[in-house]
Structure 1
């Protein structure tokens, strides 16, 4: 039954848009959110141009996707757009274009073309200066603006969309935006953005995410995919994949786990590739889970509360894939940078992740770690071969026992057994390689 009286209390546009600027984006993650829209629109080429021009510096994000009609463009610039999202769409809340853009700039303009046969473009701007002056949710026509004219020319060959950021108040320093420090900051952000996009969209760049390969460039330089699992390395090991069914409230679907042990430094194809695969956080902190939503990487590194980071398991990495139907279960945030692993899934992941770490620990211990360890032992010195063989056999036996306990579902019992051995027979535990 409707209430007898009601009152419409629209939020202050000036206040709310100001608050939405602080949702948590950094420059690379904000650009990535715009690229999400390009990929969802079927783009095969996405070009990011970050141009330094003092206070007039600007960012163009151009794609060759399907573009938008004039009405769809207005809807895209609505905060909380009314469009629906199909299964597999990278969008989620109808906020990304606006919140990502305004987290970095005060003015975002979108120029788009949806007809492949007729050269007709539409352009609209969301400008915080105008919103704050009028305190209204208004979108304006940018008119014959030189930057907009440039963007229209880029769309002359076919459909696509250009997102233009200007008034980069969150990027450039308030004082001396034309100075050398500001220019170096722009250059640094371009490098960081290329690295970030190469990581989160690596499956799309590799052509592993569907029937098309996406080429992404930053300032004219083609981005190279950074695949955390080093698929081109012959010495990489892969354990059997696992598939889990998750149900949480009205959300339900499947989650796929794939587990990898990367090669040690000496087993990599080259020192350069070993360093490249160390990732932005370096080897220790890059170990762990890589969580993908609809083939887009949304979280990387760490074990999601299942276990702690350990030097001995730094070669272990695993992918966790879920579809957009499980968004509520994973509690994905607006910026698509963080998820929470459901408790139900965390319990399922514990045994296979511990099994992975057992094998990774064994691979780490068998690899030489120092220059001294790689030098041959002079004749007559060191451990006799028969003693080394016995030690290796004992360590292998320990590894086999741990894996068997894991596969039999008796990991808790195994932990109790090793706790007793640690207290009563630590030498046996050490001989079996189970002292860590």
Structure 2
């Protein structure tokens, strides 16, 4: 045992600058940029523009520009100081004082900020990862350069006030073996970023409290480009609950601390953005959705409080209680998921709703809803199999939803028909012809056998039954006449409305 008498001196140990080299190791590009958006929100920004700038199609610079309150020189120095924890307001998303540096150095060797605050001279600061990792040095940039950055920010956001964060000398961005590969990587990166930001900030975007735009362009043309808004992706955006008794609030309690869990059950057999996120199956997003000040910190996952399974894929739980973080849950610096403390898992075992529903009962209800949804599918009548003209993804979706008649198949193909006609039924060859005169309305790129999947899916659902009999009966012939008349009128109106 060491007693107080054994202490002979107290020294102050400064952090070793070498720790900078490990900063940001766990940040993805999407989570790193989301962390920068958090800083924008803490600065009361209502508009954030993210610019992914390229040279010969390779990503070379990332800019995050906001219209927030901005910083003066003293505030900028503190922002660039590793571990500096300012006085956080109750609604602030910042927490540790390392987010901007860690997020930036996870992807770039040079971090530059430009900022303007009302009544203060515009400022610029730059830190280089190699120098910062030796002695935490930071470069002060000229007033003239800061004024130029302010002018650029005003062109981008409409406000000179605010902050621009710039990453350069990027590390880890895929440059591609050739131009096509580089463009594909860039397109996928933008798509993933839009999806991540759309779900992370969906509440704020929906409430019009925040507008996020993303621009991908070559550096020399960026100032002429216009960013496209990020759309909100609501992970609870179903039209009707999958179970009449849900959503339902279940309360967990321990040590006098309570946390409310709003338990949802998605409707079965729904595959829309919100259930499917980043193009991935909704099965991967069952579990807890944890919010802090309307910012989504965790997108699904049971965090060892329950087991994932196919049968539980409709179950999603909202935890929206600031006080739970630090007691039941621990947040990591990347804000990419939280650690659930043992005390929370214990409390969950005894949690219950006002009507006595336990958390285990909720999971069973979700499993039952999923099972019943699958049983309903088995009652659907077999349909003719899709063949030529159907995109592979569309064919797979039809096969997953409907049993198929393997004795025959249906083709949907383009052919020149008389002007004013849209479809023609070729019963003997099991083919539905679509007038190629109007192909440009639905498939501008033309030439692909599997183009216009939406139009073809609708036509398949409308007409497949007439191809499943041994002959065309009077009702079938009447339906074909009806479809021809209405669809021909519709495609003519479509062409007129587009001014073609």
Q: TM-score range by the shorter chain?
A: 0.7 to 0.9
What is the number of equivalent residue pairs in this alignment?
355
1:53 aligns with 2:60: no
Deviations, residues 371-403 of structure 1 (Å, cap 9, x unaligned): 653129xxxxxxxxxxxxxxxxxxxxxxxxxxx
Deviations, residues 222-272 of structure 1 (Å, cap 9, x unaligned): 11111111254476752321344555xxxx86522111111122xx5xx6x
Deviations, residues 156-202 of structure 1 (Å, cap 9, x unaligned): 734211111111023245xx899554443333222211111111111
- The 1-side partners of 2:145 and 2:183 are apart by 22
Deviates more, 1:318-327 or 1:56-65: 318-327
Instruction: Pick from 220, 228, 234 the counterpart of residue 235 of structure 2.
Output: 228
1:336 aligns with 2:335: yes
**In the alignment, what sits opposite 1:262?**
266
1:120 aligns with 2:121: yes
Contact 2:40 2:68 in 1 (8 A): yes
**In the alignment, what sits opposite 1:82?**
85
Which protein has the larger Cα radius of gyration, Structure 1 or Structure 2? 2
Q: CA deviation at 1:19?
A: 1.9
**In the alignment, what sits opposite 2:191?**
191
- The 1-side partners of 2:67 and 2:100 are apart by 17
- The 1-side partners of 2:177 and 2:104 are apart by 19
- The residue correspondences of 1:82-231 to structure 2 (distance < 5 A) are 82-115=85-118, 118=119, 120-131=121-132, 135-143=134-142, 149-150=148-149, 152-155=151-154, 157-173=159-175, 180-207=180-207, 213-219=209-215, 220-231=227-238
Q: Secondary structure at the match of 1:331?
A: strand
Query: TM-score under structure 2 normalisation?
Result: 0.64
Task: Mark the CA change 1:148 to 1:69 in structure 2 (over 3 Å): closer, same or farther.
Answer: closer
Q: Secondary structure at the match of 1:106?
A: strand
- The answer for unaligned runs of 5 or more in structure 2 is 216-226, 352-357, 383-500
- The 2-side partners of 1:304 and 1:20 are apart by 24
Contact 1:48 1:218 in 2 (8 A): yes
Q: CA deviation at 1:8?
A: 5.5
Task: Mark the CA change 1:166 to 1:253 in structure 2 (over 3 Å): closer, same or farther.
Answer: farther
Contact 1:41 1:65 in 2 (8 A): yes
**In the alignment, what sits opposite 1:20?**
23
Task: Mark the CA change 1:81 to 1:339 in structure 2 (over 3 Å): closer, same or farther.
Answer: same
Task: Mark the CA change 1:189 to 1:236 in structure 2 (over 3 Å): closer, same or farther.
Answer: farther
Query: TM-score under structure 1 normalisation?
Result: 0.72
Contact 1:253 1:323 in 2 (8 A): no
- The answer for unaligned runs of 5 or more in structure 1 is 377-436
Task: Mark the CA change 1:205 to 1:166 in structure 2 (over 3 Å): closer, same or farther.
Answer: same
Task: Mark the CA change 1:151 to 1:58 in structure 2 (over 3 Å): closer, same or farther.
Answer: farther
Contact 2:289 2:316 in 1 (8 A): yes
Q: CA deviation at 1:56?
A: 7.6
Task: Mark the CA change 1:150 to 1:324 in structure 2 (over 3 Å): closer, same or farther.
Answer: farther
Contact 2:289 2:317 in 1 (8 A): yes
- The 1-side partners of 2:81 and 2:286 are apart by 40
Q: CA deviation at 1:361?
A: 2.3
- The 1-side partners of 2:144 and 2:359 are apart by 55
Deviates more, 1:179-188 or 1:293-302: 179-188
**In the alignment, what sits opposite 2:320?**
321
Contact 2:275 2:285 in 1 (8 A): no
- The 2-side partners of 1:142 and 1:179 are apart by 35
